[in-house]
Amino acid sequence: MSAPPPPPTIRHVISINDLTNGEIERVFALADRYLDTLGDAASHRIAASTEKASGRILASLFYEPSTRTRLSFESAMLRLGGQIITSADPATSSVAKGESLADTVRVVSSYADAIVLRHPRDGAARLATEYATVPVINGGDGAHEHPTQTLCDIFTLRRENKHLRNLNVVVSGDLKGSRTIHSFVYALARFGANIMLMPAKDMGLPANVDQRLREEFNCQPVPKKRYEDKNSAIDALYVTPDKPHQLSLIPSVDVDDTVDVKIRRKIDAVYVTRFQKERWANVAAEYPKIDAKFLKEAKYAETSVLHPLPRVGELDIALDTDSRALYFRQAAYGVPVRMALIDLLLAGKAEERLAAYAGGFAPPERLLYDRPNDIGLACANPNCIVHDPQERPYARNKFWFVQPPGKAFRLRCFYCDEDIETFVVANAKRKEFHAPGLADEMTRSVPAETVFFADATAARAAGYHQRTERRQSA
């Protein structure tokens, strides 16, 4: 099944890591301008419109419930003078008849100039980019990522004059299932904030997110006893790269322990999330609740309380009148931030759009392994879009080759970013597989006959023989 080749200038925003720090700053500068020129200073809302996206159409394709993301995107497009078309209820669209996401985005690409997509499967938004011929913006894909929420989150802090470098940010709640958290912690790390984890019981960061923070974004975990007392709710702390050369607010292994304790314990932001009940079979035990009592310690005196909303009990409504509570403002900023993003993705001629993104992420230099999905290794994440029976014919076994410094090669699912660290390499022509470790030799290319299997048993089941065994038996 081959996807239509996308025009070269299309930019999709699927992960927060699809945008460079410079591009994120650019979105914020433009959002500031919209807020200043079209906003109502008292209410933090956009109160007037432009004609910037006049004649353009944004399609909202939502396969999961949404209030803020969809309506703020639609409001943003209308404020830009554009128009919207919406499919927000899978029961009333052709999905109910069994139509695939791939076919849907292919068709909707011919009705609109950009698509905002929300879907319950991890990696759905990346799959959509293979079939869409217009920019796809990820409005949340399963538990994977929610990059535009992160833009709103950081923009909110920035409007409070809280620039991320050296900021101490607590993230609390369902760190495992909250896609907002996953995009947010990558951005925190990239902009040099310290990340403090306060997960609900058994709901820590997924292993692959935690691993990426440490291996790719250079976060250094700090032993608990170095930064908090033993009763602290904060479970883990990551400090960011160039710390040893700066005065840190929090002592890390390389930082001077004599820094004033009061200063270094100051928490600049607390980001609260709800239990993602739609993703888990069991109810959450011991879920952290953020209320005035929690925030009464001196270190929270000037903290900003953020929440992507909706809240369902984990954030006390009594805080709403507290000056530290920023979550309704954060939701209001969804409009200027998304106006800026749509503007950069859509407005102007194609050449201008390209110029707007000059200096963006270079295409990854990593190798891509791309095979039909009836051959060899498939993504190990059961919620990945590749396992959706409706989408399976459209997805492939596609993995990036990733090699963190000093580590063995691993495979990262092209769609959902989950890594596979152990696998065997096989040769489809000779029907033989090698002992694990051979992938390390594939630094420049993945030969067309190379196939990966989960392990020797899977390779044997597919009729492959281990290389040495065959020699011996020959």
CA atoms of 309 and 64, how far apart (whole Å): 15
Q: Which of residues 273-302 bind ligand NCD (CB under 6 A)?
A: 273-274
Interface residues for ligand NCD in 121-140 (CB under 6 A)? 140
Distances 474 to 296, 421, 466, 471 between C-alpha atoms, Å: 75, 32, 12, 5
Please give the C-alpha separations between residue 199 and each of 157, 195, 227, 272, 397, in angstroms, as whole numbers.
Answer: 21, 12, 17, 10, 33
CB 109 within 8 A of CB 135: no
Nearest CA to 201 out of 143, 307, 282 is that of 282
Q: Which is nearer to ligand NCD, 175 or 222 (CB)?
A: 175
At closest approach, how far in Å is the CB of 7 from ligand NCD?
A: 29
Q: Which residues contact 451 (CB under 8 A, 6 or more apart)?
A: 371, 375, 376, 377, 425, 426, 427, 428
Pick 199 or 308: Cβ nearer ligand NCD:
308
Please answer whether residues 144 and 385 qualify as being in contact, where contact means their C-beta atoms are separated by less than 8 angstroms. Answer: no
Which residue is nearest to ligand NCD, using beta carbons?
308
172 touching ligand NCD, by CB under 6 A: no
Taking the least distance from each CB to ligand NCD, the nearer of 185 and 420 is 185
Q: Which is nearer to ligand NCD, 273 or 373 (CB)?
A: 273
As separate numbers, helices (DSSP H) first and strands (DSSP E) second, the chain gives 13, 20
Q: Are 341 and 353 in contact (CB under 8 A)?
A: no
Structure tokens at 363: 């295409």
- Site residues for ligand NCD, 297-316, by CB under 6 A, read 308-309
In whole angstroms, how close is the CB of 412 to ligand NCD at the nearest point? 22
What's the min distance (Å) between Cβ of 149 and ligand NCD? 5
CB of 179 to ligand NCD, least distance (A): 5
Q: Which of 100, 149, 172, 183 binds ligand NCD (CB under 6 A)?
A: 149
Q: Which is nearer to ligand NCD, 327 or 357 (CB)?
A: 327
CB of 80 closer than 8 Å to CB of 104: no
To ligand NCD, the closest distance from the beta carbon of 137 in angstroms equals 12
Query: What CA–CA distance (Å, rounded) separates 52 from 347?
Result: 7
- For residue 384, the 8-state DSSP code is B
Nearer to ligand NCD, 69 or 168 (CB): 69
Closer residue to ligand NCD, CB minimum distance, 140 or 192: 140
Of 109 and 150, nearer to ligand NCD (C-beta) is 150
Residues in touch with ligand NCD (CB under 6 A): 68-69, 140, 146, 149, 179-180, 273-274, 308-309
